[in-house]
Structure 1
């Protein structure tokens, strides 16, 4: 039976408080009680702990000792252990991890108080630091005997002495230990105790934790904007940390639906200097420029110049502001010896980047370091040529590089050369074309310097592009894409929106803005047709590369597809069709139609982004679906994929609601290993909420809000008996004509936000499904901020700003 510890004062259904300190919000004084304990341990009257700790540190030579090789690969059921200084946010992050991983949460403070009936500070005051240390050690040993698997442990090893260091040392061989860090100023400013002593203790704690942990995680202090709704204060922290811990156990979710970054489909790596990330006035939306990966260019000398958390903080910033893979590109300088280089690589691998660069000029002993420490990070072997690009006669040079890459366990190879002649760009391209086909790992190659621009444009895998604001330092993705389309290497596409009554569609403005931002000549336009058979004439256009299917053809289109994704088949409707042309056996070009459903993707993202941590999805979570049409199917499927298993449907025609419920009952029954699905129909607005179903924390309005066929949509209020969730929830309106629908007005009029409810309008869903649509039809990551801005601007330009 899973057990979860609830923070004092947290909401009844929540697993962790929406105001817990140290997890990302910038509260001023909530850590005083915890820091008082360390103030007692480091006080002037009894310096036992600090002096004893200092002797342990000196005895083990921890400050200067070469980092040990720590295993970074796990079966998946090992207990996750969070260590770090007071106020770093370990407890809240531990609760987040326990919910995400469905594990028992074991908190040291709660365990200590249950065992001793006293808090840390009270125990130290009553029994002294020595007795506290003995009790702390005994409790830790006892917990580790039974909690090595299937748990999340937080608060242990806070200020580890020699005995606890030995425990950590043994634990790190089998379990993932994450060193949680936070801005030191944020931690120390929350205490009135001696700042100098606390600063010293903070430094010692971080050094010890780094020595005996496997991973580093920087918990960003979140500066909340004035428009952030209370229940969502910890939402970004939750998303960041869940992404990190999934990487620890190799469960990385695919955050984009475009081509793989290491594929040969003309992918790009956005060059981000570490000095740029550290600036306070940069526009972080530049990171979403349409590139396939972020290449953090890191100078190892910064490790000595900056604090130990410098790299961890930069990785945390990138994770928060981008969805694409992160490459940690280490640029070793000539003075860096092999031992120090190995240390730098281990530091880098502790951050769990998606990819990391390793110099092929290093010696073979580094293979052992990488094999043990690399976790699930892919390795890109790099080298800079001093001579010309290898020709077919120079195959031995390439073979030596390839063998070295294999010996180091590289997943890809990157070769560069400083160009001195424009013709050398052709040499580079010829080399790539020759070696890529027979090679079983991706090969990147390009010239650097002003003359090497041509090779940058035509390198098919992770070609380097610069931030839009740094255009003088290289080429941008927009410029590189222009080159490919201008040379007819890539072909222009038309994307048609096929349906009826499309005058209100915002998709052309959204998609065309994204195409322009990424340097694509594609065009999105509406193809309003009254008959489904008109699709035949539309598909005769050889430039048609994709379709966005609108009402009423989402179900009818299934009949002419050559293939559809499993989710589209489950839902029974498509809204996106990729149009390919393939060479048939008789030598003719044959049209191939593949169908997708991105409606459910947009709905799910909006649910997960706006469902507060207090309302995390559990086996008891229920959703209320208003409507029973095609979009209601996508909404139910989205909630199912998010983990919801209990649904209630209300529709003015209850027979349609029952048909929808029965469809999903049978669908769930046909799936192997499927969890039981509870589907209920609410017959009328007077119907009580079913007693065997928890009050809904997800409400979806799947009804049109505008006039259809000359008839106004029926108006109704959501009954108060269906809004009984004590922790609120998320209300998502899937219509956006008008933007503020009658149901949204009702929810806001009831001051529903003060009860924990988050209201999401239909434009948010439109953007998210459009992002998935863009990535499927273009193969490129979407510039989300561009699309979001374009939709809002187009809507307000058409309807005015007061809607």
Structure 2
């Protein structure tokens, strides 16, 4: 039995088309998507003007409605045909035309065509009520000519005012200007996650760059993973505090057990809410017997279930759950339309007389799921004290011995009227519920919260309490111990975290050689010195030439996945892994703070990095990942700045040489400056270099207090360098003191010269570093909100103690 051909597996570089009604946010999403994927943004309005030499309004006035309609369809066809790869294509109102929709249906056989929609109230607020009603009624036809859809969840931000490459022209701004931090960060992250799923670039890219990151290891291949079961019937009409769901599980299983009015849009919105507020993979499951619905005959129910399952695939969920005991045509349809969503094949043995684990038909069920091409096989059985745990253990052993690798991971467990059997019988996708949600009829989610389930592993001595550290010559003031300890408490982990001052590799090695060593955050002087001792390094650490996170390798084999899954276990280390989270923490803060007016344009945007140490290297790398290709470096010791600039110029040249020859060279794509990406400034008294825009990004990587006997940097910017008419963002990495001379200067500049400057203080960056380090060290999601609160409170307590001493 061969699996059916996957009809929605498109080429990774196939152009992506966005359709939807006016006000849905297609232009904004197109711009954000083009930046994320490094593609050209093509809009129908600009393409029409490029082809005809007239705007749409001018063409209509000059040639009349009939000729305008014919020309519009002709341009529409040409636009799609001429931009088949490397583009994000934003369609205008032409997509409402029946002929254009026929063109889109044909195009969707080889390309992703994404229907963009949002809350009806948001669209209605942008136009006359009668026009909005008519437009929204017609908008539903976009589902029939698209193969994906994205629910653009409302974000209370000023619409983006940006310019981008649009078929060789510039997109004009809409006249509105936004100062202060970008509030489009949520939209940007949501849409980026969606694009990564439908293009298949997410997990693979994360694994190649940093195999210990949470995003790099799919939930089915982790040592332990937990699925939070959320029923649609429990979510609709309930005012949830989504902050309470943070880090509550490794993934969410959204169970469609209810058919409310406007069902498709309700489901799309719930998927969008989970994607935004939890940021974890989504399993989409359509329950066979919806709550409150009459039982329907198969000829009536199967088409509805097929439509609901198709919706899950259209929404780009990570996993689609399908019951293999259902109608074969339904199963075949899901497998045929799966795209890049993984398929979980289910066998539910419910009620008295459930098929025993020792029955040969259970092996045959697994064989069938494997033959169909399921990525995961889930087998769940109702038991009444008739199935000792040994029966299931024997079945798992038979599966392991019968089927050669690679084979789909098996999720198998018993449950009863009292709930799922504990200790949990499956290490992966173990079902859990949220503390504040009632069980209702869900007997598969009686264990509350992933942290409670994870704690059982320590109680059963499957995992071990470990000791973690921040190590360096001057770490007495570190905020890391408080943040990591709060995260351990949240996740019910019996680990400890201490700050230990040491300055030699011998002392570092002595700490790291202990069997209970779990990992360490490194500061000076170890970030570069420890590199030669590492058995494995992330691609980021290699590029930067420094590490700030050190982990022991304790896997039984040499496989990196085995090492990653050995986290939270004691024993002799086979070697060490090094990663760098300095750069990604800086990048996160930049993305959060850069306003749409100052979006990064590789050929134009200019940045300044102050310093030439390990943090400066991380800052340059973050700017490169952000897309900036004009980076100036200033350091009191010019030679060190020259060395750092030369390192990254060589590295960037290698990246450009290794880029695929078909990669588009556009304003939103990779570029390489003839003079190199990094340039050195030798003096603060000189005017800003000619031919370059004034900096809109400034990152200070120098200490504000005395370190190792050296005087503090006390860096401030020349005022002439701060005259960017659109302001920009300044990131100050020092936080002792929090208000450094640079922060004080920028506050004054913001008050007196330009209110559009955004200042990011050192506590924001250090909190992000701790969050990423915790996830690398433990393999568990970090409670970000809690760690950020602890960071601020701990710093404030330190200041109070110093004031009293």
Per the TM superposition, whether the score is higher than 0.5 is yes
Corresponding position of 2:346: 382
Structure 1 residue 343 and structure 2 residue 276: aligned?
no
SS at 1:707 equivalent: coil
Corresponding position of 1:446: 413
Among candidates 122, 139, 163, match of residue 186 of structure 1: 122
Corresponding position of 2:286: 330
Corresponding position of 2:14: 78
Offset of residue 539 of structure 1: 3.6
Which whole-Å CA distance do the structure 1 matches of 2:479 and 2:137 have between them?
54
SS at 2:526 equivalent: coil
Structure 1 residue 474 and structure 2 residue 446: aligned?
yes
Offset of residue 210 of structure 1: 0.7
Corresponding position of 1:244: 194
Tell whether the 8 Å contact from 1:391 to 1:431 is kept in structure 2 after alignment: no
TM-score (normalizing by structure 2): 0.82
- In 2 relative to 1, CA 415–456 (structure 1 residues): closer, same or farther, beyond 3 Å? farther
Structure 1 residue 203 and structure 2 residue 137: aligned?
yes
Corresponding position of 1:713: 712
Which whole-Å CA distance do the structure 2 matches of 1:379 and 1:686 have between them?
62
SS at 1:232 equivalent: coil
Tell whether the 8 Å contact from 1:85 to 1:158 is kept in structure 2 after alignment: no
Offset of residue 537 of structure 1: 3.7
Which whole-Å CA distance do the structure 1 matches of 2:131 and 2:691 have between them?
56
Offset of residue 629 of structure 1: 1.5
Which whole-Å CA distance do the structure 1 matches of 2:638 and 2:156 have between them?
47
**In the TM superposition, what are the counterparts of 1:113-512 in structure 2 within 5 Å?**
133-158=69-94, 160-192=96-128, 195-196=129-130, 198-206=132-140, 208-223=141-156, 230=180, 232-252=182-202, 254=206, 256-257=214-215, 259-279=217-237, 281-299=239-257, 301-302=258-259, 305-333=261-289, 335=296, 337-386=301-350, 393-394=358-359, 396-421=360-385, 424-436=388-400, 439=403, 440-449=407-416, 451-455=418-422, 457-470=424-437, 474-475=446-447, 476-512=449-485
Offset of residue 790 of structure 1: 1.7
Structure 1 residue 673 and structure 2 residue 658: aligned?
yes
Tell whether the 8 Å contact from 1:232 to 1:613 is kept in structure 2 after alignment: yes
Corresponding position of 2:561: none
Offset of residue 257 of structure 1: 4.6
- In 2 relative to 1, CA 126–87 (structure 1 residues): closer, same or farther, beyond 3 Å? farther
Corresponding position of 1:21: none
Tell whether the 8 Å contact from 1:602 to 1:769 is kept in structure 2 after alignment: yes
Corresponding position of 1:545: 518
Offset of residue 589 of structure 1: 4.9
Structure 2: state its 5+ residue gaps: 159-177, 207-212, 290-294, 440-444, 559-570, 660-671
Q: How big is each residue's C-alpha offset from its partner over 1:686-739, in whole Å with a ceiling of 9 and x where there is no partner?
A: 122222433323211100112334665132321123234343332111111122
Offset of residue 667 of structure 1: 4.1
Structure 1 residue 682 and structure 2 residue 681: aligned?
yes
Which whole-Å CA distance do the structure 2 matches of 1:326 and 1:332 have between them?
19
Tell whether the 8 Å contact from 1:425 to 1:452 is kept in structure 2 after alignment: no
Which whole-Å CA distance do the structure 2 matches of 1:735 and 1:313 have between them?
41
Tell whether the 8 Å contact from 2:179 to 2:755 is kept in structure 1 after alignment: no
Structure 1 residue 645 and structure 2 residue 629: aligned?
yes
Corresponding position of 2:27: 91
Which whole-Å CA distance do the structure 1 matches of 2:397 and 2:789 have between them?
40
Range with bigger deviation, 289-298 or 362-371: 362-371
SS at 1:524 equivalent: strand
Which whole-Å CA distance do the structure 1 matches of 2:130 and 2:423 have between them?
52
Offset of residue 261 of structure 1: 0.4
Tell whether the 8 Å contact from 2:503 to 2:525 is kept in structure 1 after alignment: no
Tell whether the 8 Å contact from 2:476 to 2:500 is kept in structure 1 after alignment: no
**In the TM superposition, what are the counterparts of 1:732-771 in structure 2 within 5 Å?**
732-751=731-750, 754=754, 756-771=756-771
SS at 1:187 equivalent: helix
Corresponding position of 1:625: 609
Offset of residue 279 of structure 1: 4.7
Corresponding position of 1:786: 786
Which whole-Å CA distance do the structure 2 matches of 1:422 and 1:789 have between them?
49
Which whole-Å CA distance do the structure 1 matches of 2:606 and 2:357 have between them?
64
Offset of residue 381 of structure 1: 0.7
Corresponding position of 1:614: 597
Aligned residues: 725
Which whole-Å CA distance do the structure 1 matches of 2:108 and 2:135 have between them?
22
Which whole-Å CA distance do the structure 2 matches of 1:119 and 1:128 have between them?
13
Offset of residue 608 of structure 1: 2.9
SS at 2:288 equivalent: coil
Offset of residue 583 of structure 1: 6.7
Offset of residue 238 of structure 1: 2.6
Which whole-Å CA distance do the structure 2 matches of 1:177 and 1:801 have between them?
59
Which whole-Å CA distance do the structure 1 matches of 2:190 and 2:613 have between them?
35
Tell whether the 8 Å contact from 2:73 to 2:94 is kept in structure 1 after alignment: no
Tell whether the 8 Å contact from 1:290 to 1:780 is kept in structure 2 after alignment: no
Structure 1: state its 5+ residue gaps: 1-68
Offset of residue 122 of structure 1: 8.0
Which whole-Å CA distance do the structure 1 matches of 2:553 and 2:790 have between them?
28
Range with bigger deviation, 480-489 or 720-729: 720-729
Tell whether the 8 Å contact from 1:493 to 1:522 is kept in structure 2 after alignment: yes
Tell whether the 8 Å contact from 1:112 to 1:139 is kept in structure 2 after alignment: yes
Which whole-Å CA distance do the structure 2 matches of 1:532 and 1:98 have between them?
45
SS at 2:29 equivalent: helix
Tell whether the 8 Å contact from 2:14 to 2:84 is kept in structure 1 after alignment: yes
Which whole-Å CA distance do the structure 1 matches of 2:650 and 2:52 have between them?
54
Which whole-Å CA distance do the structure 2 matches of 1:244 and 1:508 have between them?
35
Offset of residue 114 of structure 1: 6.6
Q: How big is each residue's C-alpha offset from its partner over 1:428-482, in whole Å with a ceiling of 9 and x where there is no partner?
A: 4553354356551111112334644444634111111112323766222121112
Q: How big is each residue's C-alpha offset from its partner over 1:102-156, in whole Å with a ceiling of 9 and x where there is no partner?
A: 4443333345567788876787789876565444334324434534444333234
Offset of residue 367 of structure 1: 4.9
RMSD over aligned CA atoms reads 3.3
Offset of residue 568 of structure 1: 2.3
Q: How big is each residue's C-alpha offset from its partner over 1:582-607, in whole Å with a ceiling of 9 and x where there is no partner?
A: 6799xx95542222222222122222
Corresponding position of 1:52: none
Structure 1 residue 598 and structure 2 residue 585: aligned?
no
Q: How big is each residue's C-alpha offset from its partner over 1:349-395, in whole Å with a ceiling of 9 and x where there is no partner?
A: 1001011100011233335423432110000011211467876752x
Which whole-Å CA distance do the structure 2 matches of 1:262 and 1:729 have between them?
42
- In 2 relative to 1, CA 650–277 (structure 1 residues): closer, same or farther, beyond 3 Å? farther
Offset of residue 540 of structure 1: 4.9
Corresponding position of 1:528: 501
Tell whether the 8 Å contact from 1:545 to 1:580 is kept in structure 2 after alignment: no
Which whole-Å CA distance do the structure 2 matches of 1:338 and 1:408 have between them?
20
Tell whether the 8 Å contact from 2:181 to 2:592 is kept in structure 1 after alignment: no
SS at 1:309 equivalent: helix
Corresponding position of 2:663: none
SS at 1:577 equivalent: strand
Offset of residue 323 of structure 1: 2.9
- In 2 relative to 1, CA 285–249 (structure 1 residues): closer, same or farther, beyond 3 Å? same
TM-score (normalizing by structure 1): 0.82
SS at 1:766 equivalent: helix
